[in-house]
């Protein structure tokens, strides 16, 4: 499972750094290619020579030395995953605030690969409210955390704070790469963005949706090996290469595209903010202003999610979103049933950091049995991982 995987091992200053030597050896034995980046204080615990000998790669720790410059951007692009083990309290705090004062932090901040950390600290530091806040922050930024273990600590105390054993980290990584492939061979249909309903050749009725959430879900499925089709309304967001994009403008175009693409899809996730009403008669020339009022006649659009729910085959899994401002849970559950979805993702505009235009979102998921899955406010990329994890769990149940 780890054969050929490119792993960037970050080591920060903690006595648990000695376990990183074992971790490195296990990774190499499993066939992974490993490059090591360490902080200056980590060098007090393990010698770079040990790590370079085991990894057969130069160990990097300085942003630059006298005559060369370490390319932190390329390291972050090279890796399939960055594993920071051990993660000291100090490096955790830098990760949470973005303090870039060494190579490890520069690589972390420019890494486009997923990052997982294995914290190591003494019990009291581990239990400190600031540590908890910092962990929450890095989780919400999309990082994963391998839980600490309980046992004897460097201080002699017995309690939580020990870095996970190298064998546990290997198991975590094996499961991670297995899960990453969990949607191979599956076609996923996703809608994203707003729709624009034309009034005349220069005006339209739209909404504030940016498309960020749907695009993040598309990217997450792509990472897990799926064949992803994104039916996307007007957006200025960048769509990751590898996603099949069907660009649409109006709700009617989005409907037609979804009906066509759903026929052979395994899973559909309806993230788009589709207009509920469209103009009955679109003017073919620009409407000129006059002294009176302008009345627009609107008619209902077709509900895409509901139509897919009505035609859904037994093996197809359908996910809806519910954007609510009041009676959130009640309304979300109503939509789940009325539209025959298998799962609904609720976001409430009453939660700070949730909804349109924000880089973050706060969601609660409900499944068909009414079971509730609650999540913290997170960056939309991290929210996308939660959504895809929950789909994975329910789809395979
Ligand atoms: N939806 C859809 N087609 C529509 C309207 C909504 O597919 N014409 C989908 C959305 O993509 C979302 C779900 O239905 O997955 C719920 O959308 P939302 O706007 O929250 O609710 P509506 O059903 O439009 O109801 P209301 O606006 O009254 O809350």
Write the class of the CATH domain 6-179: alpha beta
| pLDDT over 90 at 66, yes or no | no
Per-residue pLDDT, 218: 96
Average pLDDT, rounded, for the chain: 93
pLDDT at 68 over 70: no
Dist. CA 329 → ligand 1 center (Å): 15
323 CA: nearest ligand 1 atom: 20
At 160, the pLDDT band (50, 70, 90 cuts) reads confident
CA of 140 to the centre of ligand 1 (A): 27
CA atoms within 13 A on the CB side of 374: 2
Q: How far apart are CA 383 and CA 388, in angstroms?
A: 9
Pocket of ligand 1 contains residue 87 by CB under 6 Å: no
Ligand 1: centre distance to CA 303 (Å)? 7
Structural tokens at position 359: 């880089």
Confidence of residue 202 (pLDDT cuts 50, 70, 90): very high
Ligand 1 in reach of 103 Cβ (< 6 A): no
Task: Tell whether the model's pLDDT for residue 65 goes beyond 70.
Answer: no
pLDDT in tens, 76-92: 889 999 999 999 999 99
pLDDT at 62: 87
Distance from C-alpha of 126 to C-alpha of 381, rounded to nearest angstrom: 27
Task: Look at 231 and 180; give whichever has higher pLDDT.
Answer: 231
Q: How far is the CA of 392 from the centre of ligand 1 (A)?
A: 23
What residues pair up with 363 in beta bridges, in sequence order? 347
17-22-24 Cα angle (round to 5): 90
For residues 93-113, give the mean pLDDT: 95
232, 321, 342, 391, best to mutate for ligand 1 pocket (most atoms within 8 Å of CB):
321
Task: Label each residue of the chain as H, E or C.
Answer: CCCCCEEEEEECCCCCHHHHHHHHHHHHHCCCEEEEEECCHHHHCCCHHHHHHHHCCCCECCCECCCCECCHHHHHHHCCEEEEEEECHHHHHHHHHCCCCCHHHHHHHHCCCCEEEEECCCHHHHHCHHHHHHHHHHHHCCCEECCCEEEECCCCCEEEEECCCHHHHHHHHHHHHHHHCCCCCCEEEEEECECCEEEECCEEECCCCCCHHHHHHHHHHHHCCCEEEEEECCCCCCCCCCCEEEECCCHHHHHHHHHHHHCCCCEEEECCECCCEEECCCCCCCCCCCCCCCCCCEEECCCHHHHHHHHCCCCCEEEEEEEECCCHHHHHHHHHHHCCCCEEEEEECCCCCCCCCCCEECEEEEECCCCEEECCCEEHHHHHHHHHHHHHHHHCC
CA of 200 to the centre of ligand 1 (A): 24
Q: Is the CB of 274 under 6 A from ligand 1?
A: yes
- Closest atom of ligand 1 relative to the 345 alpha carbon: 15
CA-proximal residue: ligand 1, atom 21 (nearest):
322
- Binding site membership of 248 for ligand 1 (Cβ less than 6 Å): no
Interval 329-345 mean pLDDT:
97
Tell which residue, 80, 88, 165, has the closest CA to residue 115.
80
Q: Which token pair is 75?
A: 């390291």
Mean pLDDT of 100-126: 93
Domain boundaries, the chain: 6-179, 187-395
Q: Is the CB of 330 under 6 A from ligand 1?
A: no
pLDDT of residue 198: 98
Give the strand pairing for 6-11 and 33-38.
Answer: parallel
With a cut of 80, say whether residue 155 has pLDDT above it. no
For the Cβ of 335 lying below 6 angstroms from any atom of ligand 1, the answer is: yes
Q: Is the pLDDT of residue 21 over 70?
A: yes
* CATH number, domain 187-395: 3.40.50.10300
Q: Do domains 6-179 and 187-395 have the same CATH topology?
A: yes
* Residue 359: predicted pLDDT: 78
**According to the model, what pLDDT value does residue 381 have?**
82
95-110 mean pLDDT: 95
What is the C-alpha separation between 85 and 20, in angstroms, rounded?
Answer: 7
Predicted pLDDT of residue 240: 84
Q: Averaged over 195-222, what is the pLDDT? A: 95
Q: What is the pLDDT of residue 258?
A: 98
Region 56-73: mean pLDDT is 77
pLDDT score of 348 = 86
Q: Any idea which residues carry the catalytic annotation? A: 207
Q: Which of 81-90, 121-130, 338-347 has the lowest mean pLDDT?
A: 121-130
What does the pLDDT read at residue 77? 87
Confidence band (pLDDT; 50, 70, 90) for 366?
Answer: very high
Of 20-34, 65-79, 257-271, minimum mean pLDDT range: 65-79
Statement: residue 30 has pLDDT above 80:
yes
Q: Quick one: pLDDT at residue 63?
A: 82
Sheet holding 144-145, edge to edge: 33-38, 6-11, 81-87, 115-119, 144-145
Rounded distance between C-alpha atoms, residue 148 and residue 24, angstroms? 19
So what's the pLDDT on residue 152? 80
- Tell which atom from ligand 1 comes closest to the C-alpha of 319: 15
Cβ atoms of residues 213 and 199 within 8 Å = no
Whole-number Å distance, alpha carbon 242 to ligand 1 midpoint, is: 27
Which of 115-119, 176-180, 196-200, 382-386 has the lowest average pLDDT?
Answer: 176-180
Question: Is there an atom of ligand 1 within 6 Å of 322 CB?
Answer: yes
Nearest CA to ligand 1 atom 12: 321
- Written as six digits, the tokens of 44 are 């007090």
Pocket flag, ligand 1, residue 81 (CB < 6 Å) = no
Average pLDDT over residues 288-301: 95
Q: Is the CB of 321 under 6 A from ligand 1?
A: yes
- The tens digit of pLDDT for each residue in 168-195 reads 999 899 988 887 788 999 999 999 999 9
């Amino acid at each position: 499972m780890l054969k050929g995987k490119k792993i960037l091992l970050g080591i920060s200053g903690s006595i648990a750094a000695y376990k990183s030597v074992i971790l490195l050896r296990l990774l190499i034995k499993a066939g992974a290619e490993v490059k090591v980046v360490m902080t200056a204080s980590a060098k007090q615990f393990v010698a770079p020579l040990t790590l370079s000998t085991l990894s057969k790669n130069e160990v990097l720790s300085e942003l630059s030395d006298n005559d060369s410059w370490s390319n932190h951007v390329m390291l972050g692009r090279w890796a399939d995953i960055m594993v920071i083990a051990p993660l000291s309290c100090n490096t955790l705090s830098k990760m949470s605030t973005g303090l870039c004062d060494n190579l490890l932090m520069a690589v972390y901040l420019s890494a486009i690969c997923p990052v997982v950390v294995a914290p190591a600290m003494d019990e009291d530091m581990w239990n400190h409210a600031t540590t908890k806040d910092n962990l929450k922050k890095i989780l919400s930024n999309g990082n994963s955390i391998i839980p600490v273990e309980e046992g004897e600590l460097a201080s002699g105390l017995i309690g939580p704070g020990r870095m996970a054993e190298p064998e546990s980290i290997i198991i975590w990584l094996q499961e991670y790469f297995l899960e990453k492939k969990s949607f191979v061979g599956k076609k996923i249909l996703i809608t994203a963005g707003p729709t624009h309903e034309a009034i005349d050749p220069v005006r339209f009725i739209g909404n504030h949706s940016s498309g960020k959430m749907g695009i993040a879900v598309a990217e997450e499925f792509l990472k897990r090996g799926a064949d992803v089709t994104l039916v996307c309304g007007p957006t200025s967001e960048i769509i990751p290469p590898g996603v099949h994009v069907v660009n649409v403008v109006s709700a009617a175009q989005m409907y037609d595209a979804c009906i066509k693409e759903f026929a052979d899809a395994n899973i559909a996730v309806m993230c788009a903010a589709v207009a509920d009403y469209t103009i009955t008669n679109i003017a073919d020339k620009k409407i000129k202003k006059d002294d009176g009022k302008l009345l627009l006649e609107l008619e209902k659009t077709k509900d895409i999610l509901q139509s897919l729910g009505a035609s859904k085959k037994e093996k197809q899994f359908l996910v809806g979103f519910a954007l609510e401002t009041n009676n959130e849970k009640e309304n979300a559950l109503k939509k789940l049933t009325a539209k025959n979805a298998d799962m609904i993702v609720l976001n409430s505009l009453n939660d700070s950091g949730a909804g349109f235009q924000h880089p973050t979102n706060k969601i609660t998921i409900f499944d068909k049995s009414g079971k509730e899955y609650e999540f913290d406010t997170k960056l939309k990329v991290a929210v996308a991982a939660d959504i895809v994890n929950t789909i994975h769990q329910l789809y395979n149940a």
